[in-house]
């Protein structure tokens, strides 16, 4: 459970860490856009993109293979595309349970998996090198609706509180989970499920009421629906160039991909 909520940010003093968060966010978004637009048959482009992300990770003080492993987290979600090989027309490659997998479908599925994995790396590179508060600030200065940014901020802030609350509940439950010698203990599966359900419901009510208290406490301090932050100077030309460099490399890869490998 602890792992799921672990802070992604890894403190450091690399070139990437020091880069203006606004630039980093835009760069990451452009990289993801570029990855998504890669022609799907341009197989040689994928290792090149991976090399680009990997070298950026190394500059940011993260091992490239580690970033790749972290990004594997998104692979289960690509299962949503698992029907592709069986629904797209094309030459049959193999058959399972009477369903024929086509070559074009398999290629598209492979491209979806690779693109998801690479995009996740670009996003993770951003979150591991940027403190969450900086990221929120970058989003709001990039004109993301303030309500959305505020919701993100609160989710992040109270996720830990919620986790601790859940852990205390579980601890108190375990502490009363006694057994007697020679007596079957633990209750039925149905009963345990009911207890777990009650705990989840309880946690929901508490969070809901906490949100009301937090809101009142904010109102009491003059909150009107807008989060005020400190303003910062516009990004320097130097920072813009640093952010543009990986995007240009990706554009180069994409141009080559379109010319040479997209047939």
Footprint of another protein on this chain (CB under 8 A)?
168-169, 171-181, 183-187, 191, 195, 198-199, 201-202, 205-206
Query: Minimum distance between the CB of residue 73 and another protein, rounded to whole angstroms?
Result: 23
Asked whether the beta carbons of 13 and 233 are under 8 A apart, the reply is: no
Q: What are phi and psi of 96, to 5 degrees?
A: -125, 130
Query: Minimum distance between the CB of residue 170 and another protein, rounded to whole angstroms?
Result: 9
Asked whether the beta carbons of 112 and 36 are under 8 A apart, the reply is: no
CA angle 54, 139, 30 (to 5 degrees): 40
In terms of CB distance, is 113 or 199 closer to another protein?
A: 199
Strand partners, 95: 100
Query: Minimum distance between the CB of residue 2 and another protein, rounded to whole angstroms?
Result: 9
In terms of CB distance, is 145 or 187 closer to another protein?
A: 187
In terms of CB distance, is 208 or 230 closer to another protein?
A: 208
In terms of CB distance, is 13 or 174 closer to another protein?
A: 174
CA contacts within 13 A on the Cβ side of 24:
26
In terms of CB distance, is 15 or 173 closer to another protein?
A: 173
For 152, other C-beta atoms within 10 Å of its C-beta total 16
Query: Minimum distance between the CB of residue 185 and another protein, rounded to whole angstroms?
Result: 5
Helix-strand-coil split of the chain, %, nearest 5:
70, 5, 25
Query: Minimum distance between the CB of residue 169 and another protein, rounded to whole angstroms?
Result: 5
The CA dihedral of 232, 238, 243, 249, to the nearest 10 degrees, is 170
């Amino acid at each position: 459970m602890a792992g799921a909520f672990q802070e992604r940010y890894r403190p450091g003093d690399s070139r990437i860490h020091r880069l203006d968060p606004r630039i980093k966010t835009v760069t990451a978004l452009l990289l993801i856009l570029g990855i998504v637009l890669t022609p799907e048959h341009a197989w040689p482009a994928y290792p090149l993109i991976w090399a680009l992300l990997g070298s950026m990770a190394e500059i940011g003080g993260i091992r490239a293979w580690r970033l790749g492993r972290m990004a594997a987290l998104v692979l289960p979600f690509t299962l949503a595309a698992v029907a592709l090989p069986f629904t797209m027309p094309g030459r049959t490659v193999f058959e399972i349970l009477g369903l024929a997998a086509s070559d074009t479908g398999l290629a598209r599925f492979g491209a979806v998996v690779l693109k998801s994995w690479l995009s996740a790396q670009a996003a993770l590179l951003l979150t591991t090198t940027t403190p969450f508060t900086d990221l929120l600030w970058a989003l709001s200065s990039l004109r993301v609706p303030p309500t959305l940014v505020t919701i993100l901020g609160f989710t992040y802030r109270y996720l830990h509180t919620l986790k601790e609350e859940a852990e205390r509940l579980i601890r108190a439950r375990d502490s009363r989970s006694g057994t007697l010698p020679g007596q079957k203990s633990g209750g039925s599966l149905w009963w345990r499920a009911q207890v777990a359900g009650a705990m989840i419901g309880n946690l929901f009510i508490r969070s809901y009421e906490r949100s009301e208290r937090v809101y009142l406490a904010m109102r009491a301090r003059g909150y009107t629906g807008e989060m005020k932050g400190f303003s910062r100077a516009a990004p320097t030309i130097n920072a813009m160039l640093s952010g543009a460099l990986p995007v240009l490399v990706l554009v180069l890869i994409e141009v080559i991909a379109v010319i040479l490998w997209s047939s």
